[in-house]
Amino acid sequence: MKKLLSIVAVSVFALSANAGTLDDVKNRGFLKCGVTTGLAGFAAPDDSGNWTGLDVDMCRAVAAAVFGDSSKVEFTTTTGKSRFPTLASGEIDMLARNTTWTLSRDVNLGFEFVGVNFYDGQGFMVPTSLGVSSATELDGATVCIQTGTTTELNLADFFRANNIGYEALPIETNDEARENLFAGRCDVFTTDASGLSSTRAQSDNPNKWVVLPEIISKEPLGPLVRHGDHQWGDVVRWSLNTMIIAEEFGLTQANVDDNMNSNIPEVLRILGVEGGYGEMLELSNDFAYNIIKQIGNYSESYERNVGPDTPLAIGRGLNALWTDGGILYAPPFR
Amino acid sequence: MRSNFNFFSDQKFRSLFYQVLVVGLFALGIYYLTITTAYNLEKRNIATGWSFLNNPAGFDISFSPFLDFKSTDTHLKVYYVGVLNTLLVSFTGCIAATFLGFIVGIIRLSNNWLLSRTAYVYVEFCRNVPLILQIILWYSILLLMPRIKQAIELVNGFFITNRGLYSPRPIYESGFSIVFFVFIVGIIASIWISKWAKKRQERTGQRYPVLWTSLGLIILLPLIIFFLLGSPMTFEYPVLKGFNFKGGMVIRPEFIAMFLALSIYTGAFISETVRSGILSVTKGQREASAALGLKPTWIMRLIIIPQALRVIIPPLTSQYLNLTKNSSLGIAVGYADLVHGFGGISLNQTGQAIECMVITMATYLCISLIISFFMNIYNRSIQFKEK
């Protein structure tokens, strides 16, 4: 009896999740991608209801790679708490939700981070009127944090290490935390520096808020998939790598068509003119061309969503290419 | 031929057969769920087990009035803090909802048109608007209170801010335990006196001023002792230092919002229960007692309410259970209850969703069963006793 039930269980399971995610996505005709409930610059609907942002571009790049059409994505909003169960249960195919790559998430939760699409660190934001210039001056302050995040743990560590007291106010979503901060329920808001810039951009007067200089943690944010489906993990990983490599070779949305006859061998490999690299991923050979043509390279996505000319105004910093003083580095396309 | 179907034509066997079948299928379903879950957890490399309870939590909790919580404490302690906070808001909420419900229930039956209509509007509004919206509404109102730097001082040491209500904290010095002891003795003596007075009244018809004696024993006597001992209590006043008030006591807006919303929402339901209970007492009872010359307040207290309680208590129990379970909505405003702390943050930081949810659900089940148990005892004690 036990054996029989096990077989039933195994077969049901095999049908639902063991089948390759890539095949599931192809058969379904669109990609299901988990994003935030709304964080300007990373994933937020614009005025006409289209999702835009750095993480959204990541999802669209994968859709472009699989279908040759970046619009074939269904976005699922997830909170800090719901994101992991949503991915584990197979409700979404991938998660691109400024999620920090940590050992326990990679190993214990059964996920696989395929890379980093934004190098971040946790910072603090306070009202300018408080006159605070360093996080070490925050003794006794009330701090708003979003629950279920690594920031919660970093925060406790930071105050403990500096031997200063604080009152934590854990809040479910970024929006609620922002409301509490603006209402003065807390003195300080802490999250990834990019999130602070995003929150600051959403206030009625950004000059009323100042981001403190301390960055208290490493927060490599990246897309992740379920552990065990390596084929699908490779597809997402190389969609991300393609955007970075495209920047290295100066391939942009505008000039990609002109480069089809390039005399640089790697550019020809990227664009699918030479070699069968797409087929190795069980994609079409022009998957990288589609990503670059429809989304652009990493730099274009960055400048469009979070760069200095956007309300977030985040410089490239660590997110510049390794050749430009950053740490963005992708393995070769070969 | 007969032997082929006589088993099924036997009603006893047939009912037994179906019962065994249902129980068997149910057990099979549970078994199937369990092994599938275990298999899938293993397949996806998701860690299981209970050892995480002893790992340090690593995060801080906003509200822990009973236990001192640090980020180095374990997830198990997060659980304790959560349970205590859930019990705190449920217990205070049940008491307030009961008072509110009884008062409004009686007012709704008042002959005063304005009063009864006002009560009617309150009941219809509060029980027809989703609770979570009411919680958020109260919280939003509380956030509109003055900011910490503009705190309003009501009287010496009492402050209103949008970070809570601050008040002085009493500090007990040596000798205060004697005052406390006298206070407890006063309560016990009052209970004994009221029983004695009741018996005496039943026997002789003479009444005894129980209320005044009790007040004297419970309040006046400890006060006299307190001053005789030279006031062994001082106050620590809250002072604005840096970002926040230091010292004193504070009631957080998250708690106030939960308390107000839960008691006002459930109070509306209880008032309907109370009203139906009072209406269930036949008009003849009221008329007969009026004919005997009893005062209206006595009629209510001695004739109507004791009979109405028999109808009121069972649905009242359900309302207490509802309130307790509804307190799990605390997460909407960041109230650090069981679901927010252990069932939320711990779950998320450890990733052990099944374990955390099982513990959380089992805890609510236990709390509810305990409430039911005591309410059932009370219910039996007020039932009509055949003599």
When pLDDT is averaged across residues B97-124 and rounded to a whole number, the result is 94
**CA closest to A1 among chain B residues:** B28
Is the pLDDT at A4 greater than 70? The verdict is no
Report the interhelical angle of A230-248 vs A21-28 (nearest 10°).
80
Q: Which of helix, strand or coil describes residue B317? A: helix
B345·A152 Cβ contact <8 A: yes
**CA closest to B151 among chain A residues:** A184
B58·A168 Cβ contact <8 A: no
* pLDDT tens for each residue of A211-245: 898 899 999 999 999 988 999 999 999 999 999 99
When pLDDT is averaged across residues B82-97 and rounded to a whole number, the result is 96
The domain A122-217 is placed in CATH, from the list 3.90.1150.10, 3.40.190.10, 3.20.20.100, 3.40.1390.30, at: 3.40.190.10
Q: Which residues contact B320 (CB under 8 A, 6 or more apart)?
A: B94, B371, B375
When pLDDT is averaged across residues A298-316 and rounded to a whole number, the result is 91
Give the gap in angstroms from C-alpha A231 to the nearest C-alpha of chain B.
16
At residue B279 the predicted structure's pLDDT band, cuts being 50, 70 and 90, is very high
Contact status of B362 with chain A (Cβ, < 8 Å): no
A185·B35 Cβ contact <8 A: no
Instruction: Look at residue A8 in the predicted model and tell me its pLDDT.
Output: 46
**Could you give the count of Cα atoms lying within 13 Å of A215 in the half-sphere of its Cβ?**
13
When pLDDT is averaged across residues A30-34 and rounded to a whole number, the result is 96
**CA closest to A157 among chain B residues:** B58
Look over chain A and give the mean of its residue pLDDT values, rounded to a whole number.
89
Contact status of B244 with chain A (Cβ, < 8 Å): yes
Write out chain B residues lying below 8 Å of A168, CB-based: 59-62
Long-range contacts of B232-236 (CB under 8 A, 24+ apart): B232/B172, B232/B173, B232/B174, B232/B175, B232/B176, B232/B179, B233/B170, B233/B171, B233/B172, B233/B173, B233/B176, B234/B170, B234/B171, B234/B173, B235/B157, B235/B168, B235/B169, B235/B170, B235/B171, B236/B168, B236/B169, B236/B170, B236/B171
Return d(Cα A169, Cα A5) in angstroms, integer: 47
When pLDDT is averaged across residues A81-91 and rounded to a whole number, the result is 88
When pLDDT is averaged across residues B305-329 and rounded to a whole number, the result is 94
pLDDT-wise least confident of A130-139, B81-90, B361-370: A130-139
At residue B239 the predicted structure's pLDDT band, cuts being 50, 70 and 90, is confident
Is the pLDDT at A11 greater than 60? The verdict is no
B344·A138 Cβ contact <8 A: no
Look over chain B and give the mean of its residue pLDDT values, rounded to a whole number.
90
Helices (H), B245-352: 253-279, 283-291, 296-298, 305-326, 338-340, 347-350
Please, are residues A305 and A311 in contact by the beta-carbon 8 Å criterion? no
**CA closest to A144 among chain B residues:** B62
Helices (H), B150-252: 176-204, 210-215, 221-228
B244·A141 Cβ contact <8 A: yes
At residue B5 the predicted structure's pLDDT band, cuts being 50, 70 and 90, is low
Instruction: Look at residue A1 in the predicted model and tell me its pLDDT.
Output: 45
pLDDT-wise least confident of A180-189, B5-14, B297-306: B5-14
Please, are residues A220 and A97 in contact by the beta-carbon 8 Å criterion? no
A153·B58 Cβ contact <8 A: yes
Contact status of B246 with chain A (Cβ, < 8 Å): yes
**CA closest to A3 among chain B residues:** B35
Is the pLDDT at B2 greater than 70? The verdict is no
Instruction: Look at residue B206 in the predicted model and tell me its pLDDT.
Output: 83
B44·A180 Cβ contact <8 A: no
Write out chain B residues lying below 8 Å of A148, CB-based: 344-345, 348-349
Give the gap in angstroms from C-alpha A80 to the nearest C-alpha of chain B.
8
* pLDDT tens for each residue of A127-168: 999 889 898 899 989 999 988 778 888 999 999 999 988 888
CA torsion angle B102 B105 B110 B115 (round to 10): 100
Q: Which among A13, A110, A153 is the nearest to B45, CB-wise?
A: A110
| Angstrom distances, CA of residue B26 to CA of A2, B12, B20, B33 | 16, 21, 10, 11
Return d(Cα A58, Cα A33) in angstroms, integer: 9
Count CB-CB contacts under 10 A for residue B87: 16
* pLDDT tens for each residue of B111-168: 899 999 999 999 999 999 999 999 999 999 999 999 988 888 888 889 999 999 999 9
* CATH 3.40.190.10 describes domain A22-119+221-320: yes
At residue B9 the predicted structure's pLDDT band, cuts being 50, 70 and 90, is confident
Instruction: Look at residue B253 in the predicted model and tell me its pLDDT.
Output: 93
B242·A8 Cβ contact <8 A: no
Give the gap in angstroms from C-alpha A277 to the nearest C-alpha of chain B.
29
Substitution target from A87, A145, A147, A154 for chain B, most B beta carbons within 10 A: A147
* pLDDT tens for each residue of B181-204: 889 999 999 999 999 988 988 888
When pLDDT is averaged across residues B311-336 and rounded to a whole number, the result is 93
Write out chain B residues lying below 8 Å of A6, CB-based: 35, 39
Write out chain A residues lying below 8 Å of B36, CB-based: 9, 12-13
**CA closest to B337 among chain A residues:** A170
At residue B387 the predicted structure's pLDDT band, cuts being 50, 70 and 90, is low
Nearest of B280, B364, B378, B281 to residue B330 by alpha carbon: B364
| Angstrom distances, CA of residue A270 to CA of A22, A117, A273, B324 | 21, 19, 8, 61
Instruction: Look at residue A202 in the predicted model and tell me its pLDDT.
Output: 81
> Looking at this protein, which amino acid is placed at residue B214?
S
Instruction: Look at residue B78 in the predicted model and tell me its pLDDT.
Output: 94
Write out chain B residues lying below 8 Å of A167, CB-based: 62, 244
Q: Which value does ipTM take for this structure?
A: 0.75
**CA closest to B329 among chain A residues:** A172
Write out chain B residues lying below 8 Å of A141, CB-based: 242-244
Q: Which residues contact A17 (CB under 8 A, 6 or more apart)?
A: A90, A226, B40
Please, are residues A267 and A226 in contact by the beta-carbon 8 Å criterion? no
**Domain ranges within chain A, ordered by starting residue:** 22-119+221-320, 122-217
Pairing, β A73-77 against β A31-35: parallel
pLDDT-wise least confident of A20-34, A240-254, B17-31, B55-69: B55-69
**CA closest to A7 among chain B residues:** B36
* pLDDT tens for each residue of B22-65: 999 999 999 999 898 888 777 766 677 888 899 998 888 888 88
A109·B40 Cβ contact <8 A: no
Identical topology for domains A22-119+221-320 and A122-217: yes
At residue A52 the predicted structure's pLDDT band, cuts being 50, 70 and 90, is very high
